[in-house]
Structure 1
Amino acid sequence: MVGLQEHGTSVVLQLNRPAKLNALSTGLEQALLDALHTPQVQAARAIVFTGSERAFSAGADTSELPEMTPDRIAAYYRGSGSVYDVVSRLPQPTIAAVSGYCLGAGFELALACDIRVAADTAQFGLPEVGLGILPSSGGLTRLVRAVGPALAREIILFGERFPASEAHRLGLVREVIPQARMLAVALERAAFLATQPAMAVAWTKAAIDAAAESSAASSLLIEQLAYAALNRTEGQKQ
């Protein structure tokens, strides 16, 4: 359900559930979790997440919703549903390479990545409210932090799909690329990030996340402590 390909010091993890447009079932989420713990991914210097030309992921597998009692939902977030937070906390730089549908949980997975590049075919959206639920795999929180509460309300409450060009205008994707070149460009970006000192990348990612949640004074202190920790480490240039 999840393909793994090595490209130099980067890896590509490909969602592979074509019959369901890569809908994120608990099984697919668990397969992605398992892939993240493989030696190849653990050793990688950058990770690219992608799907098919037709769909990065069309969202959660809604056929599982009727079975989700409160007890099962709590267990889900402790199990396969933790994959979104695991992705967001990876020490390596992560890139979502998005083609086609990127909806619901698929969009939440893309938002958990550090950088998003999109094919000109990509369509984004969070339709959960129309189903009587809400984005709950980190997408609501990450979208608010990315675009602010006012725009997040519009995107989530209306639940409308929007194209890659609009996602780029909102700052949700780094660049929009012709479909035929999208994965190659994502790999080029990953290859560059893979050359950066790994410890500096990991600490910088953590400091940025902390800055989003901290006071200015706390964030400045984190910067300074991280700098002190990185000084004279392997990879630090004099």
Structure 2
Amino acid sequence: MAYETILVDIADGIATVTLNRPEVLNALNGQVFNELGDVALELGADPSVQAVIITGGDKVFAAGADIKQMANLSAVDAAIGGRPSHRAFSLIETIPKPVIASIAGFALGGGCELTLVCDVRIAADSAQFGLPEIKLGILPGAGGTQRLPRLIGAGKAKELIFSGDFINADEALRVGLVNKVVPADQLREETLKMAKRFAARGAVALRLAKSAIDEGLRMDLEAGIQYEHKCFSLLFATVDQKEGMRAFIEKRPPDFKGQ
């Protein structure tokens, strides 16, 4: 599928999706959200893709929503206009493969919310994060008030959302917003290294591990444990489980088939 606001590259089982609106600091609008949702469906169904990277490039991740597009919306318009972002973020969040956000420069507003729907976040030391919507008289409307507290805790999330202030990469690492911070000139290399490490694992086990974590977080502990056990048991019907354990016993690297 052809896209206008994003670039898609697939190589060696790794799909890289790059936001491509540099003239507006990768500001997110309806078209971007529609294309992100479509590419999430495409990559999720592509058996050649084992992991996905989402990035804005070397200078900026995404500096939020396109405020000019939002300024004169009515309440009804805002309700309707929010649907593409909710669709896109839900589809990215449920890609049945590891999704890594590779973040340089600003990740603000909707850009910060986009990082939250990824499984893992790796940031350049140049990165800055923030949800500044409160300074515009609104609140984060693409899942930020729900996903951020689940990731870093309610108290810190409320501080960031109530103030609208930015935090740098080191603070983001300290509070658990990102998994790793690297020098800016190493961001691409380190992100690709992480993606390849994930992609080398068994695809079926990865899919079910992600499902066990994400679905389990929506359940009480006992229900989550039961769901995990179901996922665990199902893996013993796979080719990869047999290969993985045989390779361990034979002291050799496994040759996973994704089956």
Q: With structure 2 as the length reference, what TM-score do the two structures score? A: 0.87
- What are the superposed Cα offsets for residues 173-199 of structure 1, whole Å, 9 maximum, x if unpaired? 111111111011101100111111112
Does structure 1 residue 9 correspond to structure 2 residue 13? yes
Supply the RMSD in Å over aligned alpha carbons: 1.7
Q: Tell me: CA distance 1:184–1:40, structure 2 relative to 1, closer, same or farther (3 Å).
A: farther
Q: Tell me: CA distance 1:115–1:99, structure 2 relative to 1, closer, same or farther (3 Å).
A: same
Separation in 2, partners of 1:91, 1:68: 35
Question: What secondary structure is seen at the aligned counterpart in 2 of 1:116?
Answer: strand
Deviation at 1:39, TM superposition (A): 6.1
Give the match for residue 27 of structure 1.
31
Separation in 2, partners of 1:38, 1:224: 30
Deviation at 1:69, TM superposition (A): 3.1
Instruction: In structure 1, give the amino acid aligned to 2:171.
Output: E
Of the three residues 194, 198, 214, the one matched with 1:189 is 194
Q: Tell me: CA distance 1:42–1:68, structure 2 relative to 1, closer, same or farther (3 Å).
A: farther
Greater CA deviation, 24-33 or 34-43?
Answer: 34-43
Q: In 2, are the aligned partners of 1:46 and 1:94 still within 8 Å (CA)?
A: yes
Alignment map for 1:176-215 (pairs within 5 Å): 176-215=181-220
Does structure 1 residue 102 correspond to structure 2 residue 93? no
Q: In 2, are the aligned partners of 1:85 and 1:138 still within 8 Å (CA)?
A: no
Does structure 1 residue 155 correspond to structure 2 residue 155? no
Separation in 2, partners of 1:40, 1:85: 12
Deviation at 1:54, TM superposition (A): 2.3
Question: What secondary structure is seen at the aligned counterpart in 2 of 1:202?
Answer: helix
Separation in 2, partners of 1:107, 1:119: 14
Question: What secondary structure is seen at the aligned counterpart in 1 of 2:151?
Answer: helix
Separation in 2, partners of 1:79, 1:109: 13
- What are the superposed Cα offsets for residues 3-46 of structure 1, whole Å, 9 maximum, x if unpaired? 11122100100001011000001111112223234469723110
Q: With structure 1 as the length reference, what TM-score do the two structures score? A: 0.94
Give the match for residue 168 of structure 1.
173
Instruction: In structure 2, give the amino acid aligned to 1:35.
Output: V
Question: What secondary structure is seen at the aligned counterpart in 1 of 2:126?
Answer: coil
Instruction: In structure 2, give the amino acid aligned to 1:158.
Output: S
Unmatched runs of 5 consecutive residues or more in structure 1: none
Deviation at 1:146, TM superposition (A): 0.8
Instruction: In structure 2, give the amino acid aligned to 1:72.
Output: D
Deviation at 1:83, TM superposition (A): 0.5
Q: Identity over the aligned pairs, expressed in percent?
A: 34
Unmatched runs of 5 consecutive residues or more in structure 2: 246-259
Report which structure shows greater RCO (CA 8 Å, sep ≥6). Answer: 1
